[in-house]
A and B are shown apart, each in its own frame.
Chain A
Amino acid sequence: MRKIDFEPEKPPSTVHRHRTGIEGLDDLLNGGLKPGALGLLIGPSMSGRGTLARQYFYQGLKEDNASIYVTTKNFTEDIVTLMEEKKWTLDAYTEHYVFIDAYSPQSDPSLKDSVDVKYVSSVADFARLTNAIVSSMSENLARGVLNQRVVFDSIDTVLMYVSAQGVYRFLSYLRAKIKGFRSSSMFMIEPDLHEERQVRTLFQLADVIVELKPDEGIVQVTQPGLPKRRGAFRVGDTGCIVVPEPLD
C-alpha cells in the first residue's frame, strides 16, 4: 500500500539521493538527485554545464555508484582529459564507469568496444543508442551496483538529427528505463539552439531542471511541486562552486 506523504520533503539524511558533489547545489536539490529522476541540465556552452556534468559523473564513482557518460559531440578522450584537468582521474574506477560514444565512430567506424567505451555509430540510431545505455545499466545491476547515474551530453545533437517529436519519443522511453533501474540522470540541453516550442515539450519529461544562467552568474533548480531555488554559480579550480540563496 502506498502511503500518502504529508511531510513537505524528507530531510536529506533519510532519503538516499545521488549527490552531485557540489555542496551548494546538493543543498538546492534537497540532498541530490532522486534515484529514478530524469534531470535536465540547461545552459549555453561555456556556462560550466560540462564541468557540472562531469563532476556529477565523478562523484558517482567516489560514492561507489556506477556512472555512464553518453557523448554525442566530443571524443571520449577529450572528456577524460577535461576530467583530469580537475584531478578527476578514472584509473581507480575501471568497470565502474562506461562511456557510450556516439561521436568517435563518425571519424573512425572501425572502433571496437572496450571495458571503458561502447561505440554507437550514429545518434540517429536510437535502437542501438538506447540498447547501449540500457544494457550498461543492466550490467551494472547484474554486478550488484544498485546506485547508478547517467550523463547524456547532449540532447542538442540528437535534435540536429531527428525531429523534436522523435526526440520526445526517444526520451520518454529512456525516462521509463531510468526509472526502472532507479538511476539518476542529467540530460544536457542548450535551449537557445532550438525552437522554444520544441524544448518546452521536452521539459515536461523532466523530474528536475538545473539551469545555468551565466549572465547572472546563477544556477536555478526547479522541481515540480517545490519552490524554485537559486544560488550563485561559478567554476573553480577543483570543480563547480554554488552558494545557495536562502529560501524566501
Chain B
Amino acid sequence: MRCGVATVNLFRVGIRLVDERLRLAEGPTRVLFISSPGIDPAPYGVNSAVAALKEGLEVTYLVNNKPADAIRAVADLMGFDLEEWESTGQLRILDSFSGYMNIPSNEEHRLDTPQDTNAMIESICDLTSEGNVVIFDSLSSYIDMCEGGETDGMERLMRVVGSLCEEHHFVGLFSTWGYEPKNIQTIREAFDTVLALQPVERLTIVRQFLRAEKIDGQVVPDFVVPIKVMQPGGVRVFFPKILVTGPFHSGKSSIVQAISTSSVSVDRLGTTIAMDHGYLDYKGFAADIFGTPGQENFDPILEYLAEEAVAVILVVDATKPDTFPRARTMLQLTKGYALPLVVAANFSDLEESLTPDQVRDGLGLQSNVPVIPTIAVRGSGAEELLEMIFELLMSEEGLTLGDGEKEDNDEED
C-alpha cells in the first residue's frame, strides 16, 4: 500500500542529468547508491540530503557505521553547513552507531537498540513524516554488523527497507563488499533508481563514474557519466579536461577566463608560455579547462598538452581568416577533429569580423560543428559556449541534456 502519494513532494539527489530524469517521478522515490569498495558513498548521501533540504523536504539521515559528527564533517568538506537545517529540525541525524557500540552519545536523535528492527523502523517513522526523506548510511554496514551474518542481516535489512519505502523517499548507500550475488540482486530490486559508483583505476589516478542502471524503474542503457565530489561544492558531473586551443593571440586565455569559475594563466609579455588553467562549475557540471599556447614554437608539446582531453574549444580571431590554416593545424595536433568540438569566433565585436557560417567555411569544418560568436574580453558568448560543449559531451556519452530547461513534458504512460 502506498498512501499519500499525491502529497509526496518531488525529490532530487542533486546530481545533474540524474535529477532531470527523476523529475517525472510520482510518489516516493527509492534511490540506491551502490558503490565499489574503494569509493566512499557517504558524500552521495550528504549530497542527496542537501538537495532535498534545499527543496524544502525534511530529511532523516540514519548513520550506523560512524559517529553522527562524521556526517557533519563530510558535509563540511563539501562546503555544506548542516547546522541551520538541524537547528530548525528540518534535518535530523539519527545516531544508530553509539547504541550499537554501547558508547555514550550527546546526539539528540539516538537509537538505543539498533539491532531491534522494529524499533528502528518505528523511530525513523516517528521522526519522518510521510512524503519526506530517509537516508540510510549504510546498508552494507548494517549487514556487516549483524551478528547473525549475511543471511540474517539481509533478511532484517529488507524488512527495514520495505517498511520505510512505502511512505518516504528513501536513499540507501551500499558498498559491494563481496556479498552473495543473489543478495546484491535482491537489494537492487528493492529500488526504482539504482546509481552505481565505479572507479576507473589507472595505477595512481582514480576517477569515478556514475552508471545509472535504472531510473524510476526504467532501465537506462549506456548512462555513464564521470563524476566527482568537489570539496567544496558537492557532487558534480565532472569532465577532467576540456582543451582550449587556437592560433596566436586569438583570445584563448581570455576565453579560459571567461568560461571558468576560477582560472590562472602563465603569461609573459602578453602571450601564454605554459598552460592556462581554469576550473569551471556550471549548472551541476564541473570541468578542468586547459588553454594551450598559440605560438608555433610550442607545437612540439601541443600533442602532449592535449592528452586525455575530452572536448576542444577552438578559438579563432574572426577578423583574421589568414590564421585559419594555422587553426586547422592546431586541431590536427590536438586531435580536435575526433573530439566534441566547438568553435569560438572571437573578436566578434570588431566590424570586420566574419559571420559564424563564414568562419565554419573558412576552417573547412562540417556544417554540424557549432560556431559561436564571442567577445572573450567581455565574457559575451561564454554561456553559449558552455551550453554547447556540455550538450556535445552528453551526446558523446549517448545522453541528452534533460528537458528541464526546455518545455516538453510529454509523458508516454
Contact = CB atoms under 8 A, between A and B. Distances in A.
Given A109-B70, A124-B144, A173-B177, A165 B149 contact: yes
Nearest to A174: B37
A176 B143 CA distance: 22
B145 interface: yes
Contacts of B146: 163
B175 A126 contact: yes
Interface in B93-147: 97, 101, 103, 138, 140-141, 143-147
Contacts of B148: 163
A138 B145 contact: no
Contact of A126 (B64, B67, B103, B144): B144
A112 B204 CA distance: 24
B40 A124 contact: no
Contacts of B69: 109-110, 121
Interface stretch (A30-38, A89-97, A128-136, A217-225): A128-136
A235 to B, nearest CB: 33
The contact size tier of chain A is 20 to 34
Contacts of B340: none
A122 B66 CA distance: 5
A167 to B, nearest CB: 8
B359 interface: no
A193 interface: no
A161 B204 contact: no
B73 interface: yes
Contact of A131 (B38, B65, B138, B204): B38
- Chain B interface mostly: loop
Nearest to A109: B69
A131 B140 CA distance: 16
A74 interface: no
- Chain A interface mostly: helix
Contact of B177 (A109, A134, A142, A166): A166
Contacts of A142: 204
A128 B177 contact: no
A53 B324 CA distance: 65
Interface in A181-224: none
B179 interface: yes
A108 to B, nearest CB: 10
**Residue from A106, A126, A131 whose CB has the most chain B CB atoms within 10 Å:** A126
A139 B141 CA distance: 27
A207 B42 CA distance: 33
A50 B140 CA distance: 31
A10 interface: no
A131 B41 CA distance: 11
**Residue from B66, B101, B147 whose CB has the most chain A CB atoms within 10 Å:** B66
A169 B178 contact: yes
Nearest to A177: B38
B177 A124 contact: no
Contacts of A121: 66-67, 69-70, 73
A83 B38 CA distance: 31
A127 B41 CA distance: 7
Contacts of A122: 65-67, 70, 97
Interface string A88-121: 0000000000000000011001100000000001
A165 B150 contact: yes
B35 A125 contact: no
Contacts of B144: 124, 126, 162-163, 165-166, 169-170
B143 A127 contact: no
A238 interface: no
Interface of A: 105-106, 109-110, 121-122, 124-128, 130-131, 134-135, 138-139, 141-142, 161-166, 169-170, 172-173, 177
Interface of B: 35, 37-42, 64-67, 69-70, 73, 97, 101, 103, 138, 140-141, 143-150, 153, 175, 177-179, 203-204, 206
Given A110-B69, A127-B40, A138-B203, 12 more contacts: A109-B73, A122-B67, A124-B66, A125-B70, A127-B175, A128-B66, A135-B206, A138-B204, A166-B143, A166-B145, A170-B144, A170-B177
